[in-house]
Amino acid sequence: MSQSLIVAKFGGTSVADFDAMNRSADIVLSDANTRLVVLSASAGITNLLVSLAEGQELEQRAYLLDEIRTIQYAIIDRLQAPDVIRQEIDRMLENILMLAEAAALATSAALTDELVSHGELMSTLLFVEILRERQINAEWFDVRKVMRTSDRFGRAEPDVDTLQSLCAAQLAPRISEALVITQGFIGSESKGRTTTLGRGGSDYTAALLGEALHAARVDIWTDVAGIYTTDPRVVPTAKRIEEISFEEAAEMAIFGAKVLHPATLLPAVRSDIPVFVGSSKDPAAGGTRVCNETPNPPLFRALALRRKQTLLTLHSPNMLHAHGFLAEVFAILARHNISVDLVTTSEVNVALTLDTTGSTSSSDSLLTQALLTELSSLCRVEVEENLALVAIIGNNLSKACGVGKEVFGALEPFNLRMICYGASSYNLCFLVPTPDAEEVVRALHQNLFGA
Ligand code: ADP
Ligand code: ASP
Ligand code: MG
């Protein structure tokens, strides 16, 4: 593939309506190297589809479908020749209705993925039409032909080798002939059933396709002009980071900075592909460059916030001077397919967090009764919900002096439920009650980054 290929991804707000789609089309057309475009569903559509997939009563189904139709028809109504595309979208809506009826009888993660995939299928159809009306040779491509994943519905993992060979055979030739528009977020497993990469997964799709096609850059166009020192919705005075390393940005994403899906930077790091993050509403405002190394990385780079954290505290007097307790606990968690997020231990207690965010299926809860029963046979188990994880992302944090004072000095009025520091030199993180979380971030941001 061309050495200068750019893969551009546009999120939900960037394809929310006719005007947003046209602004995004302007961005695509402003650089001839942009040959592959990855789109999310129009804003709001995925949430409506997830709701349908949860199984709804007849009236609610009709209401939700109507909401979806209204959003997509508002785009169709502004086209010069809307008839053919309206028929295509109507067929999609019929499919959605049929799948929603099935979900009302019995929900499943596989059915959810099939249903929600229609959001991206529709937005890409509409975007191609907008480009064609602008006389562009644009082609719709079903990403499921190349995005082979595991069958872990709701949070499927890509099979990178298969993706690579399918891209070389099927996608690369298309890109050399037309501007190709494809779907983020969705894929298919080996039997051909539709899967999804987890909420916000379109960023990950763009990076995976960029890697498979040896792109020179992946551009993530969203509703903020880059990556900021923290979520600008929480701290409006947050500052844009002009250049950030893969490691730092990956830590931010993993700890909840929604601007990038947590896995986005894996392919970028593997293949050293720079990522740009900018606002499709204001491309002239510039954005953030994410690359391998940045000059003079600061001690404190950013703050991230992840809500909906579950804390398990395990208490076992047998742990005193005993061997193997932690090994047993982790073996149980592994059998239940749970990866532990944070851990702290004392002589007879272990506290650990499970991150329950990210899956497309809202029913995909990590904390099952079977897990609790098995753990309870070993020790006393306490479960706390409604916690939020605040992470400070930085460089050489575990080697610097005075970090404790700077961080915790600002947090005097707050209850800190658990603190993790020292395992990684890139982060320091702690749990707070969710109602305090935004206040904590604001106080900390003021202290570390100023007003
Ligand atoms: P898209 O639909 O384009 O993928 P998202 O809503 O997933 O957009 O991500 C963009 C949002 O990420 C922003 O509106 C912002 O509120 C949030 N966000 C969280 N942390 C950060 C951060 N550190 N910098 C920029 N945006 C952030
Ligand atoms: N449409 C999907 C979601 O809302 C994927 C994405 O936007 O990246 O989660
Ligand atoms: Mg997103």
Answer for the pair 347, 335: CB distance below 8 angstroms, yes or no: no
CA 428 to chain CA centroid, nearest Å:
22
Among 24, 40, 51, the mutation site with the greatest number of ligand 2 atoms within 8 A of its Cβ is: 40
In angstroms, the CA 295 to CA 397 distance is 17
CATH number of the domain at 336, please: 3.30.2130.10
The CA 274 to ligand 1 mean position distance, Å, reads: 19
Q: Looking at the CA of 16, which ligand is closest?
A: 1
Tell me, yes or no, whether 168 and 51 share the same domain. Answer: yes
Helix (H) or strand (E) holding 403: helix 403-408
So what's the pLDDT on residue 339?
Answer: 80
Domain termination residue (choose one: 222, 253, 286): 222
Among 197, 224, 235, 357, the mutation site with the greatest number of ligand 1 atoms within 8 A of its Cβ is: 224
Q: Dig out the tokens for 399 from the structure.
A: 């080697």
Residues contributing to the annotated binding site for substrate: 46, 120
So what's the pLDDT on residue 326?
Answer: 87
Residue range of the domain that includes 48 = 6-222
In a domain, 266, yes or no: no
Residue ranges in the chain whose pLDDT is less than 70? 1-3, 320-321, 356-357, 362-365, 451
What amino acid occupies position 51?
A: S
Tell me, yes or no, whether 217 and 314 share the same domain. Answer: no
In angstroms, the CA 348 to CA 379 distance is 10
CATH number of the domain at 14, please: 3.40.1160.10
Pairing assessment for the beta strands 418-421 and 349-355 based on DSSP bridges: unpaired
In a domain, 255, yes or no: no
In angstroms, the CA 366 to CA 364 distance is 6
So what's the pLDDT on residue 418?
Answer: 95
Q: What is the per-residue DSSP string for 175-190?
A: HHHSEEEEESSEEE-T
Among 15, 24, 202, the mutation site with the greatest number of ligand 2 atoms within 8 A of its Cβ is: 202
Domain termination residue (choose one: 187, 222, 257): 222
So what's the pLDDT on residue 363?
Answer: 61
The CA 72 to ligand 3 mean position distance, Å, reads: 20
Tell me, yes or no, whether 442 and 313 share the same domain. Answer: yes
So what's the pLDDT on residue 324?
Answer: 84
Answer for the pair 154, 161: CB distance below 8 angstroms, yes or no: no
Q: Number of C-alpha atoms within 13 angstroms, CB side, residue 450?
A: 1
In a domain, 420, yes or no: yes
In a domain, 424, yes or no: yes
So what's the pLDDT on residue 2?
Answer: 54
So what's the pLDDT on residue 448?
Answer: 96
Q: Looking at the CA of 24, which ligand is closest?
A: 1
Tell me, yes or no, whether 319 and 190 share the same domain. Answer: no
Rounded to the nearest 10 degrees, what angle do helices 18-29 and 109-133 cross at?
70
Phi, psi of 125 (to 5 degrees): -60, -45
**Pocket residues: Cβ below 6 A from ligand 1:** 11-14, 40, 200, 222-224, 227-228, 230-233, 252, 257-259, 302
**Number of structural domains found in the chain:** 2
Q: Among 111, 12, 11, which Cα is nearest to 52's?
A: 111
In a domain, 359, yes or no: yes
- Take atom 9 of ligand 2 and give the residue whose Cα is closest: 199
CB atoms within 10 A of CB 239: 15
So what's the pLDDT on residue 322?
Answer: 72
Tell me, yes or no, whether 215 and 336 share the same domain. Answer: no
Tell me, yes or no, whether 207 and 333 share the same domain. Answer: no
In a domain, 260, yes or no: no
In a domain, 117, yes or no: yes
Tell me, yes or no, whether 402 and 306 share the same domain. Answer: yes
Domain termination residue (choose one: 168, 189, 222): 222
Rounded to the nearest 10 degrees, what angle do helices 369-376 and 325-335 cross at?
160
What amino acid occupies position 425?
A: S
The CA 216 to ligand 2 mean position distance, Å, reads: 24
Q: Among 307, 313, 392, which Cα is nearest to 358's?
A: 307
Tell me, yes or no, whether 148 and 28 share the same domain. Answer: yes
Tell me, yes or no, whether 176 and 314 share the same domain. Answer: no
Pairing assessment for the beta strands 34-39 and 6-10 based on DSSP bridges: parallel
Tell me, yes or no, whether 216 and 305 share the same domain. Answer: no
Which pairs from 371-377 meet CB under 8 Å and 24+ separation?
371/332, 371/333, 371/336, 371/338, 374/332, 374/335, 374/336, 375/312, 375/314, 375/329, 375/332
Residues contributing to the annotated binding site: 9-12, 46, 120, 222-223, 228, 233, 258-259
**Pocket residues: Cβ below 6 A from ligand 2:** 11-12, 40-41, 46, 119, 184-185, 199-202
Tell me, yes or no, whether 72 and 180 share the same domain. Answer: yes
In a domain, 241, yes or no: no
In angstroms, the CA 12 to CA 311 distance is 32
The CA 49 to ligand 1 mean position distance, Å, reads: 21
Tell me, yes or no, whether 181 and 308 share the same domain. Answer: no
Residues contributing to the annotated binding site for ATP: 9-12, 222-223, 228, 233, 258-259
